[in-house]
Structure 1
Amino acid sequence: MRAAVVSAYGPPEVVSILDRPIPTPTSQQVVVRVSAAAVTSGDARIRGANFPDGFAIPSRLAFGLRGPRKPVLGGVFSGVVTEVGGKVDGFAVGDEVCGMTGIAMGTHAEYVAVPAKKLARKPAAVSHEDAAGLLFGGAAALSFLRAAGTGSGSTVLVNGASGAIGTIAVQLAKNLGATVTGVTSGANAELVRDLGADEVVDYTTTDIRNTAKRYDVVLETVGNLDGAAAAELLTDDGTAVLAVATLRDNVIPRKHVKAGVAPERPEDFDELLRLVADGKLRVVLDRVTDLDDIVAAHRRVDSGRKVGNIVIRC
């Protein structure tokens, strides 16, 4: 099979398309012919060893000292089952599925082996491209909004409202009955309003940290609000959730501020996919391209101007 391989940390050009063996499933895995996969900020962060403050050493120990221990990156996929392990129930060859592979990665390839318990069925009404573009940001947005207790009447600030997490978070918060303020660039303001934001703040002209407004929920998806800054934007009973956080914000408790990694739960995937299939959630794709163009996809992520997600067809 063809796969995008990263042999050493570095710029996008370290990614090469090489031939690799098609994976063989364990008894509890299935093999999926990947139709579409997302190229995310997480992939670019690993490829470039560009880890949040305080995470450089732990991340290299986890992912590899000089290059990724798992050289085929990618944690999100949508495709068709081609082989089923002997102890797998509920899935068969030909099923259209999607999911996330976590630290196992491996989705930037024509085939990937995935534990059956990590799979969700892709509805016929949702394209493979939309499924792949949905799960990375969608699962995080859903988890973080829940963690903050978002509900009807909540006031929500989404910092990074045009990104993979932000575009879904704005819509989910509106679906929950919240009043939403999205922080983005002026170039993406119309998009964020179209997604449902009641107010848009252009970070190129306004520093959100200087606002007098306070919010019940602050969702930080970019990394330019630390725990202290996010806490200053909260109402007395509000909650801030940091999707991108320093080691300090992860390990030192701060009242009303949460940080950490969102779980990858198939039941959450199912909920998100139903919303897309029902027309209640829009997947924003910056571009859809081919595996051969993955270097350009990484460059686009590195630019910081990506809107929603980038999807490659494998």
Structure 2
Amino acid sequence: MRAAVYRRFGPADVVSVEEIPTPAPGPQEVLIRVLASTVSAADHRARSHDVPKGLGLLAGAGLGFFRPRRRVLGMDAAGVVAAVGEKVTRFAPGDEVIAMLGAKFGGHAEYARIGQDGPITAKPAGLGFDESVALVFGGITARVFLNRADIQPGARVLVNGASGAVGTAAVQLAKNLGAHVTAVCAARNAALVTDLGADRVIDYQSSDFTTGSDTYDVIMDCVGNASFDRVQRLITPGGALLAVITDLTGLLRARSRTRRSGKLVSASGVDYRAEDLRFLVGLAEQGKLRPVIDRSYDLDEIVAAHRFVDAGHKRGSVVLRIAGSG
């Protein structure tokens, strides 16, 4: 099969398209013929080994220290089931599915495999494969973090980094919960996040929300620059900081800060589940969750796709078309 492969850490051009063996599904596994994946911020971090301060050793254990442990990136996939293991009962060849491959990666290839009990489900009816895969990485991450806070109708939620893959999903999911949503992003993305449901937009290039006087029940940081020390005074009693991206200090001190402040500080990783994907699919089919795609690239354009993501200004998702999708 054809796949985007990288054999050393570095800039975008360390990735190239190669022919590698097609994986075979194990007894409990599903083999997906991948039609679309995304090139995410996580792919950028894995390829470049650009990780938050202090997390080099932890990242190395998962990604590899001197060379990549997993040579095909891509944390998500949308496609058609090509084959199933002998003990698989939940899926059959021909099923159209989406899947979150997570830290195992593998989506930037013509075929990827995942356990039938993993985060895989039927793709949304009425959406193409490109649109469907654009819901996965950002949507499941945003849902898991938002579920850690008790967001009631009328709650004030701020999303820092509201125009990225996770941020655009978080704005919509928080709005679906009845929250008043403040989106922090560049001015050029104000119309986008407003259209997604944001009630208020703060342009981070002209205003630092951490120096303001407004308070929030939940602050969701999708950028990594809103540490608890910077934002704790902005969080209401019993509120939460959801740190999607944080450094080693933020990770290690999350529990003690929660205990001492009475405000939830959540910085742990994401447990990807099929039920969360099914929830996202349901919202999408009801028109309550829209995929946001900045641009799409074919597999042969993988270097250009990585370079665009490296620039750090993408809106929503960057889709990688593995084969003809739509």
- Deviation of residue 251 (structure 1)? 1.4
TM norm structure 2: 0.94
For structure 2, list consecutive stretches of 5 or more residues without a partner in the other structure. none
Q: Which moves more between the two structures, 270-279 or 117-126?
A: 117-126
1:162 counterpart letter in structure 2: S
Aligned to 1:297: 305
1:35 equivalent in alignment to 2:43: no
What are the superposed Cα offsets for residues 104-124 of structure 1, whole Å, 9 maximum, x if unpaired?
Answer: 111100001111112111133
Partner of 1:283: 291
CA distance in 1, matches of 2:90, 2:319: 28
> Partner of 1:205: helix, strand, or coil?
coil
Cα pair 2:124 2:132 within 8 Å, conserved: no
What is the Cα deviation at residue 126 of structure 1? 2.1
Q: Does the 8 Å CA contact 1:182/1:192 hold for their aligned counterparts?
A: yes
Amino acid of the structure 2 residue aligned with 1:117: D
Give the match for residue 67 of structure 1: 67
C-alpha RMSD of the superposition: 1.0
8 Å contact kept, 1:126–1:273: no
1:166-185 paired onto structure 2 within 5 Å:
166-185=167-186
Alignment-derived partner of residue 213 in structure 2: 212
Provide, for residues 188-226 of structure 1, a one-character-per-residue CA deviation record: whole Å limited to 9, x for no partner.
011111111110000000011111000000000011111
Moved more, 144-153 or 176-185: 144-153
Residue equivalent to 1:154: 155
CA deviation profile, 1:149-204 (whole Å, cap 9, x unmatched): 11201000000010111101111111111100000001101111111111000000
| Structure 1: unaligned runs, 5 residues or longer | none
1:191-210 paired onto structure 2 within 5 Å: 191-210=192-211
Alpha-carbon distance, 1:301 to partner: 1.1
Contact 1:174 1:196 in 2 (8 A): yes
Does the CA contact (< 8 Å) of 1:70 and 1:105 recur in 2? yes
User: Shift in Å at residue 61 of structure 1?
Assistant: 2.4
Q: Helix, strand or coil for the counterpart of 2:213?
A: coil
Give the partner amino acid of 2:187: G
| SS at 1:147 equivalent | coil
What's the CA shift for 1:148? 1.5
Structure 1 partner of 2:282: 274
Partner residue, 2:143: 142
Name the % identity: 45
SS of residue in 1 equivalent to 2:240: strand
In 2, are the aligned partners of 1:28 and 1:86 still within 8 Å (CA)? yes
Provide the residue aligned with 1:312 in structure 2: 320
Runs of 4+ in 1 over 4 A off after TM superposition: none
TM-score, with structure 1 as normaliser: 0.98
Contact kept in structure 2, 1:139 and 1:263, CA below 8 Å = no
Residue 135 of structure 2 aligns to a residue in which SS? helix
Counterpart-to-counterpart distance in 2, 1:230 and 1:296? 36
Cα pair 2:81 2:92 within 8 Å, conserved: yes
Kindly state the Cα deviation for residue 10 of structure 1 after the two structures are TM-superposed.
0.1
Alignment of 1:114-153 (within 5 A): 114-118=114-118, 119-153=120-154
* 8 A Cα contact 1:151 1:173, kept in partner: no
Counterpart residue number, 2:112: 112
